Amino acid sequence: MKFNKSQWSERLLSLKHIVTNKHAWKGIRITYNVTWNLFLIFLIIGILGVTFAGGVGAGYFASLVKEEPIRAYDNMKRDIYNYEETTEVYFDNNIYLGKLRTDLEREEVDLSQISPHIINAVIATEDEYFYEHNGVVPKAILRAMIQEVTSAPMQTGGSTLTQQLIKNQILTNEVSFDRKAKEILLAMRLEKFFEKDEILEAYLNIVSFGRNSSGRNIAGVQAAAQGLFGVDAKDLTLPQAAFIAGIPQNPYAYTPFYNQLNEEGNYIKDNLDPGLQRMQIVLRRMLTAEVITQKQFEEALQFDLAAHLIDPIPSTRDEYPWLTNEVEARATEILVSKIAEEEGYEEADLEADSELKNYYYSTAYNQLRQNGYQIHTTIDKEIYDRMQDVVKNFDYFGPEIKNTKPNPETGEYEIEPEETGAVLIENKTGKIISFVGGRDFHREETNHATQMIRPNGSTMKPLLDYAPAFEFGTLQPGSILADVPYQYPGYSKYVQNYGGPNDHDGLMSIRHALKMSRNVPAVKAYVNNFDKKPITFLEKMGYTSLVDVDYTTHSIALGALDYGVSVEENVNAYSTFANSGKFIDGYMIEKITTKEGEVIYEHEVEEVEVFSPQTAYLTIDVMRDVIRSGTATSLYSHLKFSSDWAGKTGTGQDLKDVWFVATNPNVSFGTWLGYDTPKPVSIRHKNVNYSVRNIMLWSQLMNAAYDVRPELVDPEEPFKMPGGIVRRSYCVLSGLLPSELCREAGLIADDIFNTKFVPNKVDDSLTKGKYIVVDDKAYRVPASAPLEFVQEGVMIKKEFLEYHDLTDTAAIEKVLPKTSKWENLVITEDDEVKDNGSRPNKVTGVTISGNTLSWKKHSHNDILGYRIYAAANYSTNFKKVGSVPATDDLRVSLNNAIGAYYVTAVDVNGNETPFASSDIVKKGDYQEVKPEPEEPKEEDPPKADPSKNNPPDNDPGNDSPTDPSDQDEN
């Protein structure tokens, strides 16, 4: 709008009127005063309001943090650097094995070993003012609060890296003003104590980065770099760094991996766009922060993420499942004891208080997963690997067998394969060099070498029956026990050998009894020392699974443990013999250290005195025969090297467990075969006996160890015999010093003895003299006995036989030694023979067959012999032509002589069957006549040929097995 001159004049006059008008100025002054006063009033009210609000806010803030302690530098440092770092495991000789399983994998790295790209990316994205603020950025906090209150779609966050570090390491992820206030306070305090680079390094080691290529949770840039791209943090490229830096805002949305395998057999997500879009945001912020150029930005946008992601990395548990689990369990046990001891508790305290024990197990478990320890084991990697290959390729495992009972969870009748377990231990140190946990971890996770507990069968005999007896001096290798029918003391049940109730071999030495694994002598050896508590030797040798009933039963002598023993403990016990009677507990963890090398735990070898060196060597020497000529004879035919081995085979009740354990001067090694659900093994599989199959497996595993370390498993020197041992001859009937009769008959052998227990008594179980046989029993000669029936030979004392439980004729005959030195060997009765008071009647059953005259045994019980009378052809005079002692084989040879014959019986008083009542038999064309017989003169009796009167020798000789290695046993 335009004004003309007249209009401007009018406006100027109006303004002049106002300026000169007093009433107008008064109105202006009043308006000004009111406005100014109102301004002052509102200003004061505003200042008071702000002050009040500030005071209220400060008071509220103070109330939120009032219970937060003032943290010292050392406390904050400990908390900030308390990373949950994954524990690493090493084979022997510092060979890396892998990491223990954990809920979160992390590996600490110094800031100097982190790529500048990742540092720049994280700062540009998470905290652009990191190097400027003092722990918090107020405007960022205010902005975040407004966004939170208004539910803004774009949430920028208000936490600095320092605050995030506090939240992760000291506080929690709880969303509350209380936690936020403490976070702000602690962040400001942390900035006073630590340099910016220290804070940044800590943050980069603790922040979560989602999952790695194997689907496992990871934290820290080193684990992220390795887990996503297979490189170290220092080698990350710009796009790789940008991608990783974008993950922490929402780790499981931006991570490129699932936690389970997909259809392609990997963990890569189907849609990688969220992570890539986040990477682009990171790159733009880096560009804005001028830490990268436009060219770098554009090149990074072309990054092919899928092409750079690595394939799944097998975990330690995937590659070495049994070993990893075993190390984890043993390391936890070690830490439990260590932590509890440091706090004043002993093992007994933990056993008595389950809550206390669980507390320390939880503490140890967490430390093992969070503290980044390095566990060094005794396991030889190459031997271990080769042993697993042997088991994988062994062709003689028994068949798969269906269980007789359904699985309680599935209701199905599962089919189980024959399983195995094995342990190799270095004797002098106790190092577990290698083991076999089973055939397939994914089918059955039980470690059959260390966790499976089963009865150990006859491998118990050296440990519990014979070595303790050698130590007590009640037996020595040359001592004699009878393998005859024998009842368990206090029970009606008989001890049986493998062949059943009739399988008995009679008198034998301890050496032979162990070599052939005879059960009766083993039980007798244990029972004879039962009051001396030989089971305590098992305690000293590391048996941890003994229960109360094992201390009272006698069947434990045959390995019939109520619960059982592990392969590890059984093998470990055998190493006691190789260590001159000292037990050294087997172990698998050499030491545990921090990443910096500080030793947390280191194993110390401790010796336990169990047996004397003499006892240990005697047992070793006897067990050598098990391999040389006993139940393990096939061993050397399968081994590729010959060492000084001593060992024992064993089978459990009903053939449910098969064992073989052997030791040489350097190592002890044992194997087990059986089924997870106990059931009998195949007696023969692929035409090979079950025991031999186990020995074949044992040999192949040992051959594998020999290929790697021959100097370990095949020592040049054999076992050395200690002082205090001598070799002596003994009588094979009694184990005592041989008498002249023993020597004369060749019934002597020699063996080694502990000089403290060499027999000092001469055998007196045998005597040489005259006797008569009446009713199949031998007696001292009474005065009335006709001399023609008196015999001379070697007699065994009946009390000797009773000592060996030889109470019936069949058993006695079985144990009598067979020797051509003596024509007869008899047992004499303690009582005198008695006459029944009547004259013998007719001898019945008199017959001639060919050239042999025979008759039946007389019915009277006091007959000591028979007389044979003959009359030549056409002769009427019968004359005595022979006398035969009362034996079971009643016959004589007639040598083609034609004539008539009759037989009379003679009792202990010399009374004879009357001629009139005797039956006459004829041979050939003898003319029948009936003259009065001429009584022969006593002083001139014709003698029968003893060689023709005695029965033939029915001795079958030594009943040696054609293949001792194929013998079965209990």
* Better-predicted residue by pLDDT, 771 or 62: 771
**245 against 72, higher pLDDT:** 245
Examine the pLDDT at 964 and tell me if it is beyond 70.
no
Confidence category of residue 796, pLDDT binned at 50, 70, 90: confident
Given a contact cutoff of 8 angstroms between Cβ atoms, the answer to whether 517 and 546 are in contact is no
From the CB of residue 193, how many other CB atoms can be counted at a distance below 10 Å?
15
Distance of CA 418 to the CA centre of its chain: 16
pLDDT at 959: 31
Lowest mean pLDDT among 131-140, 420-429, 484-493: 131-140
User: What is the pLDDT at residue 780?
Assistant: 83
Percent of the chain predicted with pLDDT > 70 = 82
Where on the phi/psi map is residue 160: left (φ > 0), alpha (ψ -120 to 50), or beta?
Answer: beta
* Residue 931 predicted with pLDDT over 60: no
pLDDT of residue 958: 31
- The pLDDT score that the predictor gives to residue 61 is 41
Degrees, nearest 5: CA angle 95-100-103: 155
Of the candidate ranges 319-323, 609-613, 825-829, the one whose mean pLDDT is the lowest: 825-829
Q: What is the pLDDT of residues 946-963, one digit of tens each?
A: 333 333 333 332 333 333
Q: Which residues pair with 601 in a beta bridge?
A: 592
Distance CA 254, CA 257 (A): 9
The better pLDDT of the pair 447, 822 is held by: 447
d(CA 780, CA 796): 12
Alpha carbon distance 625, 645 (integer Å): 10
Kind of pairing, strands 415-416 and 847-849? Answer: unpaired
694 vs 962: which has the higher pLDDT: 694
pLDDT one-digit tens code per residue, 521-576: 999 999 999 999 999 999 999 999 999 999 999 999 999 999 999 999 999 999 99
Q: For residue 932, is pLDDT > 60?
A: no
500 DSSP β-pair partners: 497
519, pLDDT greater than 70: yes
- Going by C-alpha positions, the residue among 768, 803, 775, 739 that lies closest to residue 887 is 775
Using CB atoms within 10 Å of the CB of residue 84, give its burial: 0 to 12 exposed, 13 to 18 middle, 19+ buried: middle
pTM: 0.76
pLDDT at position 64: 42
Cα–Cα distance measured from residue 625 to residue 744, given in angstroms and rounded to the nearest whole number: 27
Tokens of 427: 């004797």
Say what the pLDDT of residue 963 is.
Answer: 37
Q: What is the pLDDT of residue 946?
A: 39
Question: 138-155: per-residue pLDDT in tens?
Answer: 766 666 555 555 555 444
Average pLDDT over residues 242-259: 93
Beta partners for residue 689, in sequence order: 684
Average pLDDT rounded to a whole number, residues 279-307 = 94
What is the DSSP secondary-structure string of 649-665?
EEE-GGG-EEEEEEE-S
Round to whole Å and give the CA distance between 34 and 40.
10
Using CA atoms, how far residue 448 sits from 212, 547, 672, 863, in Å, is: 32, 21, 8, 67
Q: How far is CA 280 from the centre of its chain?
A: 56
Other C-beta atoms closer than 10 Å to the C-beta of 371 total: 18
The residue ranges of DSSP E strands in 837-948, in sequence order, are: 847-849, 852-854, 863-872, 879-885, 891-893, 899-907, 921-923
Check residue 516 and give its pLDDT. Answer: 96
What is the per-residue pLDDT for 709? Answer: 98
